[in-house]
Amino acid sequence: MSNIYDVVIIGAGPAGLAAGIYAARAKLSTLILEKDSPGGQIVITEEVANYPGSVENATGPSLVARMLEQCREFGAEQKKEAVISVDFSGKLKKITSSAATYEAKAVIVAAGAIPRKICCPGENDLVGKGVSYCATCDADFFTDLEVFCIGGGDTALEEALYLSKFARKVSIVHRRNEFRAAKSIVDKVLKNPKISIIYDSVVEELKGDGILESLSLRNVKTNELTEYKAAECDGTFGCFVFIGSLPHSELFKDSLKLSDDGYICTDEDMKTNIPGVFAAGDIRVKSLRQVVTAAADGAIAAVQADKYIETAFN
Ligand code: NAP
């Protein structure tokens, strides 16, 4: 098989897989490269209730499995290879993986982003068992329970407002005594009777036997430790972490225009600053990072890649 493709897609989360479906269905020879198993962040989600049309009890893995099947049905190739460098300077773009160098008429970068973690003991073990990085995905599971919301930026405060529609009580934990979030959002939070704020504090430890049961906070000014335990009647509570995210954009920093916080800048057609290079999903600058918006980005990027190839190579 030749190493020259119409489209190479970097990343096999919902954005990359949607791009794969659309590109392959448009009869473009398409290669999807992914360093891990396909799916991206969605595979850690047990229930996907907000993806339009998803079947009852759809899980992240089941949704991804179907997307992969669709990619294959339309003829997209998928390889488990880590991309280690890119060269977007020529008309044919070069993508070097751990196994080979590929050339492509168009590239779709869909390498995603990951939520920044607290990095405290217990966090990794309790993801999906009380610890969450996505209120839109998981708020419903905490209906009438207590939740903690970690962070002081726009996301943390907006998500705290959203969580307050479900939870009995929301406690925002912020490491300073002043929020980074916009004043308009702060004002709404301060007026919300369900939300209380714990300033100058960071999470030291999360504990639980299979489910989150206690959270220890350290006051950064006094070093005092306080342990919050789940109410006996609840048995658990939620800990939602919104302390920023980390885009997988390191490989592209010398060629693509990035925002100050490292996300790829695109226009609404997913075009980057380099003709023939598109970005889709969580890795690009956008306001809502969800499966549905990632899939939409992927579809747009593939259609635009097709149009680009049509004009640039014919
Ligand atoms: P962010 O603005 O980077 O805020 C991250 C928050 O987490 C900050 O309050 C930060 O504290 C805190 N933090 C970072 N590392 C921490 C750690 N290790 N432990 C404890 N706290 C930590 O991230 P974001 O809120 O996700 O927003 C990302 C971007 O999207 C921003 O530009 C934001 O304005 C934008 N956004 C806009 C909207 C909107 O316009 N409606 C909505 C959401 C997001 P410090 O403040 O002390 O640094």
Ligand 1 pocket, residue 155 CB under 6 Å = yes
Which amino acid residue places its CA nearest to atom 16 of ligand 1? 243
Ligand 1 pocket, residue 180 CB under 6 Å = yes
CA-to-CA separations, 90 to 87, 103, 275, 281, 306, in angstroms, rounded: 8, 10, 10, 25, 18
Which amino acid residue places its CA nearest to atom 14 of ligand 1? 243
Instruction: Say which CATH class 4-114+245-312 falls into.
Output: alpha beta
| Residue 106 in tokens | 């168009």
Task: Please give the positions annotated as active site.
Answer: 134, 137-138
Domain parsing of the chain, residue ranges: 4-114+245-312, 124-241
Q: Which CATH number fits domain 124-241: 3.90.1150.10, 1.10.10.10, 3.40.50.2020, 3.50.50.60?
A: 3.50.50.60
Q: Among all chains, which residue has been given the structure tokens 């002081």?
A: 152
* pLDDT tens track, the chain, 314 positions: 579 999 999 999 999 999 999 999 999 999 999 998 777 767 655 566 778 888 887 877 888 899 999 999 999 999 999 999 999 999 999 999 999 999 999 999 999 988 899 999 999 999 999 999 988 889 999 999 999 999 999 889 989 999 999 999 999 999 999 999 999 999 999 999 999 999 999 999 999 999 999 999 999 999 999 999 999 999 999 999 999 889 999 999 999 999 999 999 999 999 999 999 999 999 999 988 888 999 999 999 999 999 999 999 98
Distance 296 CA to ligand 1 centre (A): 25
User: Residues in the chain, how many?
Assistant: 314
Distance 39 CA to ligand 1 centre (A): 25
Ligand 1 pocket, residue 117 CB under 6 Å = no
Q: Does 124-241 match 4-114+245-312 at the fold level?
A: yes
Residue to mutate (ligand 1; options 154, 261, 286; most atoms within 8 A of CB): 154
Distance 2 CA to ligand 1 centre (A): 45
Distance 267 CA to ligand 1 centre (A): 23
Ligand 1 pocket, residue 133 CB under 6 Å = no
Do residues 43 and 64 make contact, with C-beta atoms less than 8 angstroms apart? yes
Which amino acid residue places its CA nearest to atom 11 of ligand 1? 152
Residue 279 burial (10 A CB sphere; 0-12, 13-18, 19+): buried
The model carries a pTM of 0.76
Distance 51 CA to ligand 1 centre (A): 25
